[in-house]
Amino acid sequence: MTSPRLQAQPLDYHFLDVAEGAQPFLRKLFESFGFRALRLWVDAGVSAESFDRQGCDGLVTALGECDGRTIAIAWSDFRVKASSYGRCNSRRFAAFLRQLRESRDAIPLIYVVNSAGLSLMEGRSAFSDAFALWPELLRYAEQGLLLTCAVGKCLGLAPLLYGLGHYRIAVARGTHINLTGPEVIRLFFGTGVDFETRAAAERCLECHDLVHEIVPSLEDALRLCRGLIARRPGAAPSPELGARTGPLLLQMLDGPPREVVPDWCPRVRLFIGTHRGKPLGLFVNPLERSNNMITVRTLEKYGAGLDLFRALGLPIVSVLDSPGIDPRCEQSDANNIRRILSVGEKIIRYPHGAMGVVTGRCFGGATALSIPKVFGGTRTIALPGAQFGVMHERIVEQVLSGSPRLLAEWRTAAAAQDASFSDLLAQGALDAVVQPEDLSAELDRFLECDADGPRLVGARRRRSAPHMVLAR
């Protein structure tokens, strides 16, 4: 297996072809992805005869062909030195990342993290090489898709590198993520700390945004990665879409979509679906819910979807029904202003085309999540009965009730806001008001605009989705 696009190599490393069955400890990789061969990135002096598990220093770096495209693998082998980051394996991993970045096409990388962190045995001499992986992975993630999977131990430096992934998966029951291990916790904070519970991946999923999804097994994690790289719903179980949301989505999509980040917050759901065979990402406020107010956790989920869909190179559709952003003090204390700014920036800078579909309420700051034209939206439409405004009309009436002059001004403005949205259509803020059965045709128009180059804020270049076929 040789690739003309990956010929230039540092003298210290080279690619080594390994066939299925040659190395038993790589069997899971071959079985999970259907590889017939791997191209291992190894030290220059390593040959097919001398290669073994110990020589990898707890980290396998390789290329393989799966579903017609090249994918890169970084695989922790905890049995060797607890897969700790030392000088040798860190330098090889960094050189592997630089080699991949030199390719003309962005190659998706799956990094399975099972590591005790920085090598204690090598001491501080390993620090520079190990921590150099942070900027190297960050640069890689700016160019191509990075999927990370935590299994077993993810400690010390490991969770920092894991956290750079565009989609971060963890294996249930037994995966622990923390900046140190239980021995250090007990040494400094006593035996009363329940490390097994407090550092569990399940708690990360519940408490913050480090873990996007938990799956039952490593095999499930690898299948999920494979499906995400394919950018299609694939063989994933069809999610329960709801009595109103389901029919609406199926008006737009070829079939049931794949749900991602399924557990964080029910006020918005994220999907990958296809329309006439073209993959796209969707943000959906469930129509069955009256409480779709946007909280900090909701904003975290929007941000996660924008990061993933951008890395996958997907045009996006936001199906919005929200009364606004939650203004309560506990949300302010949780830094909702900075979260709003972060998500807004991601929307404004989104490079692959975006469409908004307002199905119900679109009030206040939630308007930003409809991806309006002023944020670079390609196309914005509404369904009959949608509601637009700074606030609901009844609330505006109550707020201005103490000032007859301001109330009169508001009522004059409100009189021009008809149910057919003629003001927004004339303004260009809306492209059309359509029935649900016309959504498919609207998606056609959006994707045609996207193919010609989306209407974006500022001069932003689009980059094609990651794709590369590994030549034999």
Predicted confidence (pLDDT) per residue in 357-382, tens digit? 999 999 999 999 999 999 999 999 99
Gap between the Cα atoms of 248 and 269, Å rounded: 14
pLDDT at 48: 87
Let me know if residue 107 belongs to a domain.
yes
Please indicate, yes or no, whether residues 197 and 285 belong to a single structural domain of this protein: no
Domain match, 321 and 218 both: no
Measured CA to CA, the distance from residue 43 to residue 40 in angstroms comes to 10
Which amino acid is present at 371? I
Same domain flag for 205 and 292: no
- Reported as type and span, the H/E element at residue 274 is strand 269-275
Kindly state the DSSP code that residue 43 receives in the 8-state scheme: E
Kindly state whether residue 401 falls inside one of the protein's structural domains: no
Q: Print the domain residue range for 263.
A: 242-386+421-452
Cα 340 to chain centroid, rounded: 18
Domain assignment present for 233 = no
Same domain, 11 and 132: yes
Phi-psi group of 194: left, alpha or beta (phi > 0 → left; psi -120 to 50 → alpha; rest → beta): beta
170 near 176, Cβ under 8 Å?
no
Distance, CA of 61 to CA of 44 (rounded, Å): 14
Number of structural domains in the chain: 2
CA atoms of 389 and 362, how far apart (whole Å): 7
Bridging pattern class, strands 379-382 and 316-322: unpaired
Residues 6+ apart with CB under 8 A from 440: 251, 252, 275
Q: Look at residue 334 and give its three-state secondary structure.
A: coil
Q: 299 and 213, same structural domain?
A: no
What percent of the chain is modeled with pLDDT above 90? 72
Encode pLDDT of 252-276 as tens digits. Answer: 999 999 999 999 999 999 999 999 9
Which residue in 138, 33, 135, 140 sits closest to 466, CA to CA? Answer: 140
128 within some domain: yes
> Measured between alpha carbons, how far is residue 156 from residues 160, 267, 468 in Å?
8, 33, 33
Do 222 and 299 lie in a common domain?
A: no
Residues 77 and 110 in one domain: yes
Q: In angstroms, rounded to a whole number, what is the distance separating the alpha carbons of residues 332 and 340?
A: 11
Q: 264 and 381, same structural domain? A: yes
Specify the CATH number for the domain of residue 248.
3.90.226.10
Residue type for position 223: R
Least confident of 26-40, 254-268, 336-350, 353-367: 26-40
SS3 276: coil
Q: Is residue 415 part of a domain?
A: no
pLDDT at 465: 41
Domain assignment present for residue 143? The answer is yes
Burial class (CB in 10 A: 0-12, 13-18, 19+), 25: middle
Supply φ then ψ for residue 225, to 5 degrees: -60, -45
In the chain, the percentage of residues whose pLDDT exceeds 70 is 92
Domain shared by 152 and 289, yes or no: no
Cα–Cα distance for residue pair 338/296, rounded to 1 Å: 10
pLDDT for residue 460 is more than 50? no
